[in-house]
A and B are shown apart, each in its own frame.
Chain A
């Protein structure tokens, strides 16, 4: 078990390393192939209108003449140990984890990321609970009543749910619930949970439902398929032969087995979401990580893009690691082999 944990953790670190390398090469290696020079890199920082001499000076100062591996080492080193930036007029200390400063706002990227995390985290938390509960419940009922009206209606609804993008459902919800009925928040507002939990939920309920709808549909189909499989298993027949009530047979024996792969996917989906729910955040103008990423890409703010990429990758990898470890807890066959 200990070796399993160690092996998985090392694997996770390796993946993060590869992601960081790839991210770095995309922004600093590929442009060279396309003819970019150290001066054009420097131009990103000082502006395209700066004269050649200024560009060269900054290219020198920012180390763009150094070999790529040194530049990568400096970038990743800053993440772990922090670094100092010499502006000529003074030295700025960038504490670890340092992802540099935005071109545009001069804000440290890391602080921006931390600012945005609660918004995305709140969105992911609420939505994931909603979609997990509804998706699994609908899937189980559908499987138990296969072919019934409920099953057909639910699966048709699920197909619609999977097919409709959040910017459509989200806008529909906003139109009906916020503008027509006025029962929900009109979007573009976020109140931290610590300030006012009720206001927090009121502002997030529509984004939650919008985001949850998409995944609940997928989970319903997934759960249904899993339940159909496990309910046909021999051990479910054994459970019935023991004289257990149907409720216990379904939950303790059928669902318990069907839930394992769902938990796996759930962990990965939540991890993915923590890196930003771009469509939902944009639809409701929530200033989360997804919104941040879109904004950074639109403005070509490289330090921000690289920062948010690594941030998102970190969550995905950590979620995978947790899922792997959880799997060992859930399935005794993994634990012992």
Chain B
């Protein structure tokens, strides 16, 4: 299988993070759930990858897989995850545990349920710091207060002793970020970091994450269904559907020359301020596939408006993730490249931009 790396990756160098054909499958009573089915990408430090997709497309499972906290007993995992020259899938659980929180950390979606209700915010940050650093409680506490100050929590020396439920939603997410940053991780994965927040707070959190990423020079993976967030932060974008990557490229390419009908659908269902209010959003028809019964052939074909143009291939053959154009842009689609580009230019793009 050909390696799939970031379009901006220098092919002569080893990327900081690289996934090769990662598969995470769950055998269940109803059948094999292929949550992640052959995912490959690469990411450098200081860069941001946005992973986009609907619920159940495998975005969250792949991130948990990188951290090694998928459910060990009932999941099978194959492929390779390389973090700074170290392979993680074949590594011992204890090795991965030692990296978790230290070199790679995660920011979760809903900080109220993701923080333990019985421990103070400070205690939880201190705990995260002291697992990997042999320091006294006092030193760790000082570190926690510094971190809270860094993520913009007022009066951090007092708030450090508060419980999560005493924080507002935005403050909690800041505290969650402080916790993830406690050991200066080189890889930071944010799973829907702003979904549970007010829109005004969302912008603050995104700003904060961008600043922190620059400061810590970490590789950042943002998992979201919100293309706005992706446009705001990401250097590269990876679109997932039914456990597979269906389009991968630089953010500019994905937003300006998307070639997969599903990506068009995502763009069409995003509300835009520059559009007349009377314009209707263009939802993608149908529902995401069940990961037990992924449609044969192209998983997207039941929902694809252009499926007939493939001459029946859509139902029989799983399309390959192939390079298109010159900028390292990859698409998993049966339509010929020129057809896709034509449809985008002539049908989709004018529609999205309104009748200007």
Q: Point out residues on A near B: beta carbons under 8 Å.
A: 233-235, 237-245, 253, 256-257, 330-333, 336
- Complex interface: chain A residues within 8 A of B101 (CB): 241-244
**Any A CB within 8 A of the CB of B106:** yes
Cα distance A331–B119 in the bound complex, in angstroms: 9
A243 touches B98 (CB 8 A): yes
Chain A CB within 8 A of B105 CB: yes
Cβ B113 vs Cβ A235 within 8 A: yes
CB-CB nearest in chain A for B68 = A240
B residues near A, CB below 8 A?
A: 64, 67, 69, 97-102, 105-106, 108, 110, 113-118, 120, 127-128, 131-132, 163, 165-166, 179
Residues from chain B with a CB closer than 8 A to the CB of A253 are 116
A336 with B106: in contact, given A237-B114, A242-B131, A253-B116 (CB under 8 Å)? no
- Contact of B114 with A238 in the complex, beta carbons under 8 Å: yes
**Chain B residue contacts of A241, Cβ below 8 A:** 67, 69, 100-101, 105-106, 108
A146 to chain B, nearest CB (A): 9
B173 to chain A, nearest CB (A): 13
- What is the distance, in angstroms, from B355's C-beta to the closest C-beta of chain A? 45
Collect the chain A residues with CB atoms within 8 Å of residue B113's CB.
233-235
Q: Is the beta-carbon distance between B108 and A234 smaller than 8 angstroms?
A: yes
Residues of A within 8 A of B114 (CB): 234-235, 237-238
- In the assembled complex, the Cα of A241 lies from the Cα of B115 at a distance in Å of 12
Known: A241-B108, A333-B117. 5 other contacts (CB 8 A): A237-B64, A243-B99, A332-B120, A332-B163, A336-B163
Bound complex: CA A241 to CA B100 (Å): 6
B117 near A235: Cβ-Cβ < 8 Å: yes
B100: chain A residues within 8 A (beta carbon): 240-243
- Residues in B whose Cβ lies below 8 Å from that of A240: 67, 69, 100
Known: A333-B165, A336-B166. A243 touches B118 (CB 8 A): no
Q: A241-B69, A242-B127, A336-B166 are in contact. Are A257 and B97 (CB under 8 A)?
A: no
Contacts of A330 in B (CB 8 A): 118
Complex Cα gap A326–B4 (Å): 57
5 A–B contact pairs at CB < 8 A? A237-B64, A237-B114, A240-B69, A244-B131, A336-B165
B116 with A257: CB separation less than 8 A = yes
Q: Please determine whether B131 and A256 come into contact, CB atoms closer than 8 angstroms.
A: no
Selected from B97, B115, B118, the residue in CB contact (under 8 A) with A238 is B115
Q: How far is the CA of A299 from the CA of B106 in the complex (A)?
A: 69
Majority SS of interface residues in chain A?
A: helix
CA distance A135 to B102 in the complex (A): 36
The smallest C-beta distance from A131 to any residue of chain B, in angstroms, reads 24
Point out the residues of chain A lying under 8 angstroms from B102, CB to CB.
243
Interchain CB contact (< 8 A) of B117 among A237, A239, A244, A331: A331
- Residues A242 and B110 in contact, CB atoms below 8 Å apart: no
Distance A316 CA – B248 CA, assembled complex (angstroms): 65
Q: How far is B118's CA from A330's CA once the two chains are assembled, in angstroms?
A: 8
A251 to B212, CA, bound (A): 33
In the bound assembly, the distance between CA atoms of A237 and B68 in angstroms comes to: 11
Find out whether the CB atom of B108 lies under 8 angstroms from the CB atom of A331. no
Contact of A332 with B116 at beta-carbon distance under 8 Å, contacts A241-B67, A242-B101, A245-B97 already known = no
Residues of A within 8 A of B117 (CB): 235, 257, 331-333
CB pair B166–A238 under 8 Å, yes or no, is no
A256 CA to B98 CA in the complex, in Å?
23
Contact A235–B69 (Cβ < 8 Å): no
Q: Is the CB of B118 within 8 A of A331?
A: yes
Residue of A238, A240, A333 with highest tally of chain B CB at under 10 A:
A238
Nearest CB of A to B129, in Å: 9
Q: How far is the CA of A240 from the CA of B163 in the complex (A)?
A: 20
Name the one of B64, B110, B163 contacting A333, with C-beta atoms under 8 angstroms: B163
Q: What chain B residues lie within 8 Å of A239 (beta carbons)?
A: 116
A243 proximity list for chain B (CB < 8 A): 97-102, 128, 131-132
- Name the B residues within 8 Å of A238 (CB-CB): 106, 108, 114-116, 179
Q: Give the distance to chain A from B31, nearest Cβ to Cβ, in Å.
A: 18
Identify the closest chain A residue to B72 (Cβ): A246
Q: Give A236's nearest chain B residue, CB to CB.
A: B116
**Minimal Cβ-Cβ distance residue in A for B110:** A234
Would you give the shortest CB distance from B88 to chain A, in whole angstroms? 13
Q: Which residues of B contact A256 (CB under 8 A)?
A: 116, 118
Q: What's the least CB distance linking A226 to chain B, in Å?
A: 14
Measured CA separation A257–B117 after assembly (Å): 8
Chain A nearest CB from B16 CB (Å) reads 19
Given the complex of chains A and B, what is the CA–CA distance between A248 and B46 in angstroms? Answer: 33
B64 contact set on A, CB distance < 8 A:
237
* Beta-carbon contact of A332 and B118 below 8 Å: yes
- The CA of A235 and the CA of B163, in the complex, are separated in Å by 14
Question: How long is the Cα–Cα vector from A257 to B116 in the complex, in angstroms?
Answer: 8
How distant is the Cα of A227 from the Cα of B114 in the complex, in angstroms? 17
Measured in the bound complex, the distance between the Cα atoms of B131 and A242 in whole Å is 8
